[in-house]
Chains A and B, each alone.
Chain A
C-alpha cells in the first residue's frame, strides 16, 4: 500500500526525446508536488498542484509540463530532453490545510544520454 508511487524508477533516454513520469497518491491529499534533486542532492520544487490547480511553477523550462487528470495523480511530461535534465525527480503529496508533512515517492532517476 505505497502512499506515493512513481513510475518508472529508472529512465534512460536519448537527447531530444519526450518522456513522462507518472505519480499517484492514495492518501487523499489535496496538494501534490514535483521536485528535482540535482547532483548536489539539493531538492528544488518544480510544481505544486492544489485540487488540480497549478499553484507554484518555479520558472522551470516550459519543456516540463505537469498534468493532473485528478486529485490523486500528477504526471510530469518532459519534451525535447536535454543532458542537463538528468537528475532524480521526486513526487510528493500533502494536505495543505492540516500542515501535515509531505509524503515523498521513491524518486525517478532520469539519465539523458
Chain B
C-alpha cells in the first residue's frame, strides 16, 4: 500500500531559525515528489517538485532534497519568518497514465504543522 509519512507532526521554532521537515514514502512506481505549503483556511500551494533524477531543489528559503534509494525527502527552511507558519504537506505521485495504463495518483502525507514565533 502506498504511504507517505511525515515528521515531526508539529514544530515550533523561533523566527530566524532554520528547520528541517522529513518525509518517507513507499509509493511505487515513483514519478515525482512535491512539497506543498497550506496556510490556514487556504488551499495547498506547491513549493517544489522533484523527479527521480533530482537530488535537491530550491525555492527561495525553501530547499527540498530527495533520496530515491532510501525513499526519503526533506524540506529545509532557512531563516524562518512568521509567515512560514503553516502546514507543510509532502505528496508523492506514481507514474503518469501513459506509462501504467492508469491515472497518476497522488498520495498525501499527513503534514507537519509549523509555527514560527517571535
A43-B89, A55-B103, A97-B98 given; A104·B45 CB < 8 A: yes
CB distance from A24 to the nearest CB of B (A): 14
A101 to B38, CA, bound (A): 14
Count A interface residues, CB 8 Å: 29
A100's closest neighbor in chain B, by CB? Answer: B49
Count B interface residues, CB 8 Å: 29
CB distance from A68 to the nearest CB of B (A): 13
Among listed A44-52, A59-67, A70-78, A79-87, interface-contacting one: A44-52
Residue from B87, B93, B103 whose CB has the most chain A CB atoms within 10 Å? B103
Secondary structure dominating the interface of A: strand
Question: Which residue of A35, A41, A96 contacts B103 across the interface (Cβ within 8 Å)?
Answer: A96
Interfacial residues, chain B to chain A (CB-CB below 8 A): 31-32, 34, 36, 38, 41-46, 49, 51, 87, 89, 91, 93, 96-98, 102-106, 108, 110-111, 113
18 A-B interface contacts by CB (under 8 A)? A41-B38, A41-B113, A43-B111, A45-B106, A45-B108, A55-B102, A55-B103, A56-B103, A96-B97, A98-B96, A99-B49, A99-B51, A103-B46, A104-B36, A104-B43, A105-B43, A106-B42, A107-B41
